[in-house]
Amino acid sequence: MGVTDVFYYTLHIRELKSIIQWKTWHNPVHERDLKKETVSLRICFDFLDKTSRSFSAVIQELHPELLVPIALFYLILRGLDTIEDDMTIPLEKKEPLLKEFYKIIEKEGWSFSGNGPDERDRELLVQFHYVTEEYRKIKPVYREIINDVADQMGNGMAEYCRRSAEGRSGVESVKDYDLYCYYVAGLVGNGLTRLFVESGLANPALKERKQLQTSMGLFLQKTNIIRDVKEDWDDKRRFWPREIWSKYVDDFGDLFKPEKKEAALNCISEMVLNSLNHADECLFYLAGLREQSVFNFAAIPQAMAIATLALVFRNPQIYKKNIKITKGEACQIMLDSTQNLQKVCEVFRKFVRQIHRKNTPKDPNFLKISVACGKVEQFIESIFPSQDPEALQRAAETGMPVAKKEDPKVVREREEAKWDTIYMMIAVMGTITVVTIIMLGVAWMMGARWDVAFNELRKGGVNRPGRDSARTIVQKYDRGEL
């Protein structure tokens, strides 16, 4: 943690508190049994840590039945994505690799060293034989699901790579946009759902609700596409659909120009609106997960996504750099998202209301965004009513307004949080005071003359003295001890 971080968290005590709580109080639902793991499986988990620490953490807390299948599922799709993303691989080599990847993962000893030297996950493919070795050991029903998803995803990616190479924009219409997001993320939601249900850790009815499965993936992917617009543009890639951005500017690059700021902000609004339309279906999906570790695995990314959506909404910074929620905010979201559905709904309500507050009548999407926010809140209200039905009935009979009664547990938690914050502030200020005293003491032991400093301060000598003034001060206070 650098000096900037220390200063930031001194001013944001609640975030510091969340980090400490997550680090010290979070207990994994399940833990890996390293004694039972082969060398090749441990290498796979090492690659999981390197490719995505956030996903790796939640995967490694999964139920033992799904731990290895989902870890390998993630690494296989990451390998596929690494080939698709690498612009140094020519199309004639890339296309067959993508289309045949579902067959490749069945081959013993397969690896690939054809990625460019700067490709971030190049080493995963260089040592991919460890992944395929472990993949062949999991249950046939899980292999069938992973293989099917890799087949569909590889063919979808190959189609978009060909269109891009032929000079055709890969994402013209909103329909194209949805299809692209389905291939790279919606299929992941479908595959994970099948794994959850086959393992007996989710409601079997989820398997029939394809729209809910797809929304889980699309909500994450669309949010990431909005956030990463500057990074993608720098890499000469564009995923925002022309059907949306062409309403605001003539050329996509105009969105990054300061003189087009208002149009660019309105464009962000419509992109956020497109993503927000999946939010209520994500909450509906989460209600069907039975086991706590599976719930945590699915809920944390969704909660992070709604927080990110609130951050990027009408935020001009996304055209300048890649922005993210702070570590303190992320820890608080994870604390809330690893409890139950009601807590996750509270997270969604909080950030949906942030979007609603940032919404402005000047935005041509103002009404639609208001409706989308209201739709999420209405869904939450339908499963967790904030009013007591009996109180509503009495109010209807007597004509008296309903006094909203807060949950005693919520009141108690809020009071505890307030005192926790006060104690945290005292601890931080106490630590700063002790460190300051120690630093001053060490300086004194090394020969610092505090009497000189105090005398000069009393005389108003705050500024740095010149060379002659400094010599005069030294001569005045030199007692000849040295």
Active site residues: 180, 227, 237, 297
Residue 215 to residue 282: CA distance in whole angstroms: 6
What's at 83, amino acid-wise? I
Residue 135: partners with Cβ closer than 8 Å, 6 or more residues away: 72, 76, 105, 106, 143, 146
Residue 461: partners with Cβ closer than 8 Å, 6 or more residues away: none
Task: Give the Å distances, CA to CA, from 81 to 89, 94, 195.
Answer: 13, 11, 21
**Number of C-beta neighbours around residue 349 at 10 A:** 18
Q: Of 53, 61, 69, 154, which is closest to residue 104 (Cα–Cα)?
A: 154
Q: Is 63:291 a contact under the CB 8 Å cutoff? A: yes
Residue 285 to residue 216: CA distance in whole angstroms: 8
Q: Of 229, 227, 225, which is closest to residue 176 (Cα–Cα)?
A: 225
* Strands, E assignment, 109-232: none
Q: Is 38:137 a contact under the CB 8 Å cutoff? A: no
Task: Give the Å distances, CA to CA, from 417 to 94, 411, 420.
Answer: 53, 10, 5
